[in-house]
Homo-oligomer: A and B are copies of this chain.
Amino acid sequence: MTRETLQQAYNEIKDQVHRTPVLQSRLLNDKAKAALFFKCENFQKMGAFKMRGALHAIQKLNKEQKQKGVLTHSSGNFAQALSLAAKNLGVRAHIVMPDNAPQVKKEAVSSYDGNIYFSQSSANAREQKSEELLRQFGYSFIHPSNDIHVILGNATAAIELLEEIPDLDILITPVGGGGLIAGTALAGHFFGKTSIKIMGAEPKNVDDAYRSLQLGSIQKNNNTATIADGLRTHLGDVNFPIIQEYVSLILRVEEKDILSAMQLVWERMKIVIEPSSAVAVAAVLQHQEHFKNKKVGIIISGGNVDLSALPF
């Protein structure tokens, strides 16, 4: 892995993604006692950074693989990202979804021409259904977070941020499956200054990444009781070694602090961010000892929120 590997990933997708804005807020700077730079992937196509990884992973396939199509299992942002990325590249995307997935998620995938296969809702049933389809049709499987080309695509958000603010002291992202923080860590290492620190933010209720780094092996969550629905998953064998090498700290936050960070950003910055993104903002506000007087890049991972089910 070199700087050139990342630069090439960026060159391959940059014409297919929005260069999202980097926003600042004086009020949030005052509250955090730091200079915060929000990389707004909520303004990315389909509303999340996952578009970057999905695009890059599809582009790395050969012609025959592209003709056969791609498959993932996800009911969240990656299902939409893979569907839209595939559509934009003239490839067919197939999504395995639990049959009890919310109607709004099914419609989102369908609106991007993703082809849905239903499975029962257990992880086992989902994986079995996927394997069956892969055997039968020869689709290429693309994991939402544990795939090196997805990780390299995700890295491009931080590459853009570092192009604008080269001297960041800290980069922080929310941590779910580990694909965003792994990519961001690589970008920080190869494009940031030598002393840059990479941090992750996790809800205390699903602190699998925190425990994984402590124990040196991938841990899972026994419950999924967090509003940050994008962060309930666990790390994988591709991204965990990267995280072990380059991430210095995982900060954990309470549910109430996630909510108030989300409300603060909506009310004062006038942008819609999803709960998972608010986890990173909450970490910066709640653990000020790590950020005081620093230049901090925060990856706002997405803005897909169901307004009919708001927690305020």
Contact = CB atoms under 8 A, between A and B. Distances in A.
A305 B47 contact: no
Interface stretch (A71-79, A129-137, A152-160, A265-273): A265-273
A312 B308 contact: yes
Contacts of A273: 270
Nearest to A42: B270
Nearest to A307: B312
Contacts of A263: 307
A121 to B, nearest CB: 26
A43 interface: yes
A266 B266 CA distance: 10
A47 B271 CA distance: 12
A188 interface: no
A303 B270 contact: yes
Contacts of A1: none
A118 to B, nearest CB: 25
Contacts of A308: 312
Contact of A312 (B42, B271, B272, B310): B310
